[in-house]
């Protein structure tokens, strides 16, 4: 008994299997990753995978489909309505993006100056973007109404025209009208994002340039623009994706009409998939948007985001 102090050994705690399992690193890694992987699988991979799977079947609403291979895509390639939607999606995205960035950048530069009521003005600028798209669409639907357009009414009252303006009754006017509505709606997002970018540019750069006797254009070209490029790339990526996948404006204003001339791929996919019930065909059209979006993203990333820190390296 007396030698108990020297003979003391640390009591060996028998670790149970759970503790041992939890101490095992590979298991722990899997366990910690599981929630994230689960969320991604359920909410991202499964719907995307299902969409792609559906594109290769002849599923309709009311009948589970059979595998038909590329049949949907073969039909699509011969379908002038599909090619028209491809054309208009690209055209709509291209023109609307250029419009939004030209006007948005201009607006951001104006707002970056010292103006009275600056914060109030900035808040007002955001309005078109805050309003729900459907509301915007309904407003434009009235503005473009073939009989009750306020613009037609004004022009006729002023004696400038005798007949209503054709906004959405024929193909090209309808296309331009939708692009105008999209630009109107998209400007605030671009303007506010670029304004945030502008404010991160150090004033000392401008001071130095001023001392060197630079012109306003030179300051824009050699300081503002390059410094803004990183944020421009990101905003443009988002803008292109939003515009290319636009649905609400077109569906609410023209429903793809007149005679399918303003269908975007998103509205055509919906039209075929849900009201017409051809889930397989609709999914095939939706899947065909993926290459365009990947291209747009890669373009923004590689062509515009060339600074090293944007690609995970340090900035030298």
Partner 1 sequence: MANIITRRSILGAGVGMAALAAGGEALAQNRVRGDASVAAPRLPIENGATLRILRPVRFVAPDEEVFRANAARFTQQTGVQVRVDFVGWEDINQQTAVTANTGAGPDCIIGFGDSPHIYADKLIELSDIAEYLGKKFGGWMFGGEKLGKRHGTNNWIGLPMGGTSGPLIWRKSAVNEVGFQSPPNDLTSFLELCRRLRRINKPAGFALGNAIGDGNGFANWLMWSHGASIIDESGAVSVNSPQTLAALNYLRELYPTFVDGGTIAWGDISNNQAYAANTCWLTQNGVSLYFALKNDPATRAIADDSEHSVMPLGQANSWPNAPLILNAMVFRHSRFPNAAKAFVAFMMEVEQYEPWLNANLGYWAHPLNAYRAASVWTSDPKVTIFRDGMNSQFWNGYKGPISEASGQANAEYVLVQMFASVAAGQATPDAAMREAERRSRRIFRRA
DSSP 8-state symbol, 34: H
Residue 49 in the binding site for partner 1 (CB under 8 A) = no
For 29, 118, 198, 306, the CA distances from 205, given in Å and listed in that order, are 47, 23, 12, 21
Residue 256 in the binding site for partner 1 (CB under 8 A) = yes
Which residues inside 170-189 make contact with partner 1, applying CB under 8 A? Answer: 170-171, 174
Considering CB under 8 A, how many residues would be counted as binding partner 1?
38
Nearest distance from residue 135's CB to partner 1, in Å? Answer: 17
Between 162 and 313, whose beta carbon lies closer to partner 1? 162
Q: CB atoms < 10 A from the CB of 107, how many?
A: 20
Nearest distance from residue 53's CB to partner 1, in Å? Answer: 17
In the list 41, 210, 259, 290, the residue contacting partner 1 (rule: CB under 8 A) is 259
Between 147 and 215, whose beta carbon lies closer to partner 1? 147
**308, 314 in Cβ contact below 8 A?**
yes
**171, 261 in Cβ contact below 8 A?**
yes
Residue 55 in the binding site for partner 1 (CB under 8 A) = no
Residue 277 in the binding site for partner 1 (CB under 8 A) = yes
In the list 126, 229, 258, 310, the residue contacting partner 1 (rule: CB under 8 A) is 258
For the packed helices 279-287 and 289-299, what is the interaxial angle rounded to 10 degrees?
A: 20
Contact window for partner 1 (CB under 8 A) among 35-43, 60-68, 89-97, 283-291: 60-68
Q: CB atoms < 10 A from the CB of 275, how many?
A: 11
Q: Which residues contact 156 (CB under 8 A, 6 or more apart)?
A: 162, 163, 164
Residue 276 in the binding site for partner 1 (CB under 8 A) = yes
**270, 245 in Cβ contact below 8 A?**
no
Where do contacts with partner 1 occur on this chain (CB under 8 A)? 60-64, 75, 80, 144-149, 152, 163-164, 166-171, 174, 254-261, 271-272, 274-278
């Amino acid at each position: 008994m007396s030698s108990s102090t020297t003979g003391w050994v640390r009591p060996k705690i028998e670790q149970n299997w759970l503790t041992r399992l939890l101490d095992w690193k590979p298991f722990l890694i899997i366990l910690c990753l599981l929630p994230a992987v689960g969320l991604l699988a359920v909410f991202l991979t499964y719907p995307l995978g299902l969409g792609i799977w559906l594109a290769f079947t002849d599923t309709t609403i009311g009948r589970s489909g059979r595998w038909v291979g590329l049949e949907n895509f073969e039909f699509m390639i011969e379908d002038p309505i599909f090619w028209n939607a491809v054309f208009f999606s690209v055209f709509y995205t291209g023109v609307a993006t250029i419009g939004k960035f030209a006007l948005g950048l201009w607006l951001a530069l104006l707002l970056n100056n010292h103006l009275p009521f600056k914060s109030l003005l900035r808040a007002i600028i955001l309005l078109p973007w805050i309003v729900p798209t459907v509301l915007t669409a309904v407003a434009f639907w009235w503005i473009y109404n073939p009989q009750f357009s306020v613009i037609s009414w004004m022009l006729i009252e002023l004696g400038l025209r005798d007949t209503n303006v054709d906004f959405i009754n024929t193909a090209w006017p309808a296309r331009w009208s939708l692009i105008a509505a999209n630009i109107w709606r998209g400007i605030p997002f671009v303007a506010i994002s670029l304004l945030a970018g502008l404010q991160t540019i150090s004033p000392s750069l401008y001071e130095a340039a001023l001392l060197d006797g630079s012109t306003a254009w030179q300051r824009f070209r050699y300081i503002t623009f390059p410094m803004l490029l990183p944020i421009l790339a990101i905003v443009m990526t988002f803008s292109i994706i939003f515009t290319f996948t636009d649905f609400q404006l077109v569906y609410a204003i023209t429903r793809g009409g007149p005679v399918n001339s303003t269908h975007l791929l998103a509205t055509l996919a919906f039209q075929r998939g849900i009201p017409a019930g051809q889930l397989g065909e609709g999914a095939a059209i939706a899947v065909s948007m993926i290459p365009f979006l990947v291209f747009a993203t890669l373009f923004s990333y590689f062509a515009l985001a060339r600074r090293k820190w944007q690609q995970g390296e340090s900035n030298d």
